[in-house]
Amino acid sequence: MTPGTADGAKPLITVGISTYNRVDGTFPEALQSALAQDLDDFEVVVCDNASEDGTRAFMERQRDPRLRYHRHETNIGANGNFNACLDLARGDYFLLLHDDDVLEPGFLQRALEAIGSRRPGVALGGVRHIDGAGMARRSVGAPPAGLGGAELFEGWFRRRYSFYFCSTLFDSARLRDAGGFASPEDLFQDVVAIARLVARAGYVSVPAIAGSFRRHEANRGGSSHALRWTRDAEYLLNLLAELFPDRAEELRRLGAPYLAAKCYRYVAAVPSPLERWRLYREIDRRFDHALPPWHYLPQQLRMRFRKSLSKRWRRLSGPRSTSG
């Protein structure tokens, strides 16, 4: 396929799209959202993880000179494909877009304006949450500007903003030097990468919605899945304490209950009540009893009740599309 810019020159930004078997679903929308950016100096790299649908034929019909396509002959796993996008990227900055997410119009240009003459490790924008049908559910703004690295993650633990691939522009060279996207279980790999780059070169805030993150109502997996998230969360918390030693105690105090709650969510899909309770106790132990399950579970019941009321209100009010 043709090079990623019209004249073959090195682009300033690469948008990497990792895809697998979604050509008849969300992938075309994700691709179009990337190609529709109002910026001249960027490329889009699509890494196809050995799709078995019509992705290859679809891509062979594309004629945009900013677009490059690579297909793996065998599936290399989701995180392997994320890093393949990074390996193929030629831009100074890199954004990874999942094939079921959507990039907001104009975000790349706004990110470059926020960066200016600086060279931060990452540029962080806000995110819109959408459901499987693409209906907007809520939006979370970008982190405020000017925080120290530890303060940035303390704000995340306080649920003031979120980190997602579709709302993060990485310094490509620094990301490669930091090992790309990697964590023990490849689940918190995006936050691990953000932490490493913020510790090295700081961040800039992009006061805009960067993209739409799609939440699927899918099975969250079983006991093994819950424990994998727990191992990755432990790794992340230890890494943050190592990267920001002056704030290690506060990061652990705020991070342990936040991450425990995230891990508890994956226990709900386990069918056996006894196994669920064993997992709750194991996660509680690993996070030093920062959020005991008998505190977490009543909170979840209250949250589900509020969500139920919110869904009823949305049905009465009518759906909202991602275009606002």
85 and 210 in one domain? yes
Q: Is residue 320 part of a domain?
A: no
The DSSP secondary structure of 145-209, one letter per residue, reads TT--HHHHHHHHHTTS----GGGEEEEHHHHHHTTSS--TTSSSHHHHHHHHHHHHH-EEEEEEE
CB atoms within 10 A of CB 312: 10
pTM, to two decimals: 0.90
Asked if the structure places residue 235 within a domain, the reply is yes
The letter for the amino acid at 182 is A
- Is residue 128 one of the residues assigned to a domain? yes
**Which residues span the domain enclosing 286?**
223-305
* Together in a domain, 195 and 281: no
pLDDT digit string (tens) for the chain, length 324 residues: 544 455 567 899 999 999 999 999 999 999 999 999 999 899 999 999 999 999 999 999 999 999 999 999 999 999 999 999 999 999 999 999 999 999 999 999 999 999 999 999 999 999 999 888 788 888 999 999 999 999 999 999 999 999 999 999 999 999 999 999 999 999 999 999 999 999 999 999 999 999 999 987 654 567 889 999 999 999 999 999 999 999 999 999 999 999 999 999 999 888 999 999 999 999 999 999 999 999 998 877 776 666 666 666 666 666 554 443
Do residue 265 and residue 172 come from a single domain?
A: no
How many structural domains is the chain composed of?
2
Residue 289, number of CB atoms within 10 A of its CB: 14
Of the three residues 155, 188, 214, the one that is the final residue of a domain is 214
- The two structure tokens encoding residue 287: 């996070």
Domain match, 193 and 258 both:
no
Let me know whether 45 and 111 are in one domain: yes
The answer to whether position 177 is within a domain reads yes
Q: Are residues 147 and 205 in the same domain?
A: yes
Q: Which amino acid is at 227?
A: L
Q: Indicate whether 231 and 158 sit together in one domain.
A: no
Which residue, 170, 192, 214, sits at the end of a domain? 214
What CATH number is associated with residue 84?
3.90.550.10
In this structure, are 242 and 161 located in the same domain? no
> Do the Cβ atoms of 82 and 123 come closer than 8 Å?
no
3-state secondary structure of 323: coil
Is 256 part of a structural domain of the chain? yes
Residues 180 and 117 in one domain: yes
Flag whether 1 is in a domain.
Answer: no
User: Do 27 and 114 share a domain, yes or no?
Assistant: yes
186 shares a domain with 103: yes
Residue 153 lies in a domain: yes
- The H or E element that residue 294 is part of is helix 293-317
Residue finishing a domain among 194, 214, 234: 214
Confirm whether 283 is domain-assigned: yes
- 247 and 181 in a common domain: no
